[in-house]
């Protein structure tokens, strides 16, 4: 029994490492885009000055519109007031949108959190990845993920809802069964373990056409 538990711990640890590597790669890609735009900033200014000097207002307006559209692709969509939360949420929102998934997000975390950043990364990352997986089973026009985060007194509240293609899921031995493979199962275990570590609250609810996870973490 001890050997099986040890093997499970190693597999979960390996999955956790792969998950974090993926998150950091997404974040690095987002910031690489930002650094690239900043590097080109001087060139953009010179082009704008040239159009202004020639009095070509139409070309100036067109160039500004193109810059505005380009900047919007790397701008932070969500500004919660907590830097780590911003980084994780924005990287995942960018990933979801690249897959044709509508994301409706309302998040405000204007305090320093006691939850470890690595734990926050694992929870939000897993919740978002699971929601993205489920959304990909739907036609693009039906894909939607709703995220809500706020402080409830001294607790961090998180709610993730995604539309689903199937009927209401059934629980097996107190857990929703997964057809996504072992990695998906490890992700759920990691979330459960972290919430338990902080003596928080977790609820998963499946309805026809939607799946919601709610979490409360004391701070």
CA separation for the pair 102, 104 (Å, rounded):
7
What is the chain's mean pLDDT, rounded?
80
In contact, 145 and 101? CB cutoff 8 Å: yes
Q: Whole-angstrom Cα distance, residue 105 to residue 103?
A: 6
Beta carbons within 10 angstroms of residue 15's beta carbon: 20
**Spatial contact of 113 and 86, defined as CB atoms under 8 Å apart:** no
Structure-model confidence comparison of residues 200 and 66, the more confident one? 200
pLDDT at 212 over 90: yes
pLDDT score of 139: 95
CATH number of 76-218: 3.30.565.10
Does residue 140 carry a pLDDT above 90? yes
pLDDT value for 84: 78
Look at residue 181 in the predicted model and tell me its pLDDT.
Answer: 47
Q: State pLDDT tens for residues 1-22.
A: 555 556 555 655 555 555 566 6
Least confident among 42-46, 47-51, 88-92? 42-46
SS3 of 207, please? Answer: strand
58-62, 66-70, 201-205: which has the highest mean pLDDT?
Answer: 201-205
Report how far apart, in Å, the C-alpha atoms of 156 and of each of 66, 82, 91, 148, 149 are: 39, 12, 20, 11, 7
Domain ranges in the chain are 40-72, 76-218
pLDDT at position 182: 47
Q: Is 105 helix (H, G, I), strand (E, B) or coil?
A: strand
* Each residue's pLDDT tens digit, 106-116: 999 988 899 98
d(CA 87, CA 132): 18
Q: What is the pLDDT at residue 147?
A: 96
Query: For the CA atoms of 192, 174, 145, 127, what is the dihedral angle to 10 degrees?
Result: 20
Report the percentage of the chain scoring pLDDT > 70.
70
Residue 42 pLDDT exceeds 80: no
Q: Who wins on pLDDT, 47 or 152?
A: 152
Residue 171 confidence class, pLDDT cut points 50, 70, 90: low
Its pTM surpasses 0.75:
no
What are the two backbone dihedrals, phi and then psi, of residue 57, each rounded to the nearest 5 degrees?
-65, -30
Task: Check whether 173 has a pLDDT greater than 60.
Answer: no
């Amino acid at each position: 029994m001890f050997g099986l538990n040890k093997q499970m711990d190693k597999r979960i640890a390996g999955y956790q490492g792969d998950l974090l590597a993926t998150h950091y790669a997404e974040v690095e890609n987002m910031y690489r885009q930002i650094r690239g735009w900043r590097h080109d900033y001087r060139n953009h200014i010179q082009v704008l000055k040239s159009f202004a000097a020639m009095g070509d207002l139409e070309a100036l307006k067109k160039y500004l519109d193109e810059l505005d559209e380009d900047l919007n692709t790397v701008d932070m969509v969500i500004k919660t007031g907590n830097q780590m939360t911003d980084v994780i949420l924005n990287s995942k929102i960018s990933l979801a949108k690249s897959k044709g998934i509508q994301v409706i997000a309302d998040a405000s975390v204007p305090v320093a959190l006691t939850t470890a950043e690595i734990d926050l990364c694992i929870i939000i990352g897993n919740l978002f990845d699971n929601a993205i997986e489920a959304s990909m089973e739907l036609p693009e026009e039906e894909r939607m993920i709703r995220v809500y985060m706020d402080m409830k007194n001294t607790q961090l509240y998180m709610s993730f809802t995604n539309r689903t293609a199937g009927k209401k899921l059934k629980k097996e031995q107190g857990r929703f069964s997964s057809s996504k493979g072992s990695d998906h199962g490890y992700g759920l275990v990691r979330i459960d373990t972290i919430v338990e570590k902080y003596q928080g609250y977790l609820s998963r609810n499946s309805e026809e056409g939607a799946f919601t996870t709610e979490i409360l973490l004391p701070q």
